[in-house]
Structure 1
Amino acid sequence: MPTPSLWEQTLTFFPQFVRELDDRCAPGATVTVIGASDGKFVLPLAEAGYHVIAVENDPQALHGGEVLLPVAGFAYAPSLAERVAEAGVTSQVRIEPHDFFDTALTDMQADAVWTSCSWHYSANHRRPLREFIGRMQDLLAPSGLFGAEFMMPIEDNHYLMEHYTTPDKLFRCFPCGTWEVLLTLRTDPFIERPHVGQLHDHTHRMGVFFAAKREHVDEGSELDEA
């Protein structure tokens, strides 16, 4: 049993993504995880038989080291590679230790792509949100599955940042001639318990967006620039 992820207790809609993945993708399909962190999503995908491309640029996730945890205090957190090896799925996982925008698209091509609350981090604000999403879309072959959960605005300053978005706004990036939107969800504000990087109770509001790239693009369909 691998060491638990630092993010083990945080809310996620990843199980719904896996169900969609199982329905739509063949066994052994490739899934790219953007913001792989310490493998919270990478390990279960690999253990389920999928090939995983884990894209991560954070030194803590890549090399491990000491972290400050709620209640427990300082502790050693293993690296992504250590957790992959500990789980016995090294042959199923390829780690791309680069910034998402600096990694060649050809090195990330997959049947499905998943990201969890990554694009709202300030390090990703240097590029427009549409560019982040478009790059995720470009990784997928026809019929490929796109999955993202993300932070919605809840504090006043969030409403000034496009990277805190809503499912309604994301529809603009998924024109119906090219994409089939499969699922959108949004939560009410909820209290999340302390975790690494956030040592006190805090409030979140999350959204979820799943879509499938159509095998045949409808003639005349274009990306809605509205």
Structure 2
Amino acid sequence: MRTQSLWEHTLTFFPQFLAALKERVAPEGTVAVIGAADGRLVLPLAAAGYRVIAFERDPQALHGGEVRLPGDVNVRALGLIGRLKSEGLDDRVQVIDEDFLDADRLDTLCDAVWTSCSWHYSANHHRPLAEFVARMQLLVPPGGLFGAEFMMPVDQHHHQIEHYTSPEKLSRRFTSAWTVLLTLRTGEFTERAHVGRLQDHTHRMGLLLAARTPN
């Protein structure tokens, strides 16, 4: 991508999801991305030939604007919509400016669904994690792919919040109608400061990929 995401250098398991997607979903398939941010993972999907439904409700993530970066630096950044237009990919992406947990346009099945570290944000803590996961699962037809990377607890208070979960706990939310394909987890690691977290900080992350059983 010629335009760079504000999240470009943060750790992601997206390559594992993309590999599974290429195995299971034909080109021109549809992928829903929950918590699209400024398009860090949306644009590569669209560039690879997929059609994308991008859920994002943060105005700055959608439209860009002035942001503060580490080192007390202010820059003007493109948001998701601007980056899509700049890359000529806006015709492949449907942007839904709604809270995913309240969106009423969940009647279109997708070939795959993906979220990257979205449900641990405090704005999503007013609803159970089970509801978030179940709504994602509803988007996936038989034979389709579910992918999520997520924050695992590090600090003591994280253990009191179910949205900081683990691959083992998350796997329990997938019944016999699903096959868990892959789970991964990191140990604690230090991530460099980035927009929204202006100091170096410690994370643990997990990944779960699952396929809905074909009919």
Do these two structures clear the TM 0.5 threshold for a shared fold by scoring above it?
A: yes
* 1:209 match: 208
Identity %: 60
Q: Which amino acid aligns with 1:181?
A: V
Equivalent residue number for residue 132 of structure 2: 132
In the alignment, the residues of structure 1 paired with residue 81 and residue 210 of structure 2 have an alpha-carbon distance, to the nearest angstrom, of 30
- The residue that corresponds to 1:121 in the other structure is 121
CA distance 1:128–1:209, change in 2 (3 Å): same
Q: Classify the secondary structure of the residue corresponding to 1:147.
A: strand
SS at match of 1:106: coil
Matched position secondary structure for 1:101: coil
- The answer as to whether partners of 1:184 and 1:210 remain within 8 angstroms in 2 is yes
Amino acid at match of 1:128: P
Alignment partner of 1:199 is 2:198: yes
Residues 105 and 213 of structure 1, relative CA distance in 2, 3 Å threshold: farther
**TM-score, normalization by structure 1:** 0.93
Partner of 1:187: 186
Letter paired with 1:90: D
2:42 matched to 1:42? yes
| RMSD across aligned positions (CA) | 1.1
**Segment of structure 1 superposing worse, 97-106 or 198-207:** 97-106
In structure 1, C-alpha distance between the alignment counterparts of 2:107 and 2:198, rounded to whole Å: 36
Deviation at 1:104, TM superposition (A): 2.1
Give the direction of change, closer, same or farther, for the CA distance of 1:46–1:170 in structure 2 (3 Å limit).
same
Which whole-Å deviations, capped at 9, do the CAs of 1:10-58 have from their partners, x for residues lacking one? Answer: 0001011000000000110000000000000000000000000010001
Instruction: Report the TM-score when normalising by structure 2.
Output: 0.97
- The letter for the 2-side match of 1:20 is A
Quote how far apart the aligned CAs of 1:71 are: 2.7
1:47-86 matched pairs, under 5 angstroms: 47-71=47-71, 73-86=73-86
State how far apart, in whole Å, the 1-side matches of 2:107 and 2:193 are.
35
* Whole-angstrom distance in 2 between the partners of 1:125 and 1:3: 32
Q: Which runs of 5+ in 1 are unaligned?
A: 217-226
How many aligned positions are there? 215
Q: 1:77 to 1:108 in 2, by over 3 A?
A: farther
Cα distance in 2 for partners of 1:145, 1:161 equals: 27
2:70 counterpart letter in structure 1:
P
Unpaired runs of 5+ residues, structure 2, are none
Q: CA deviation at 1:102?
A: 2.1
Q: CA deviation at 1:77?
A: 1.1
3-state SS of paired residue (1:46): helix
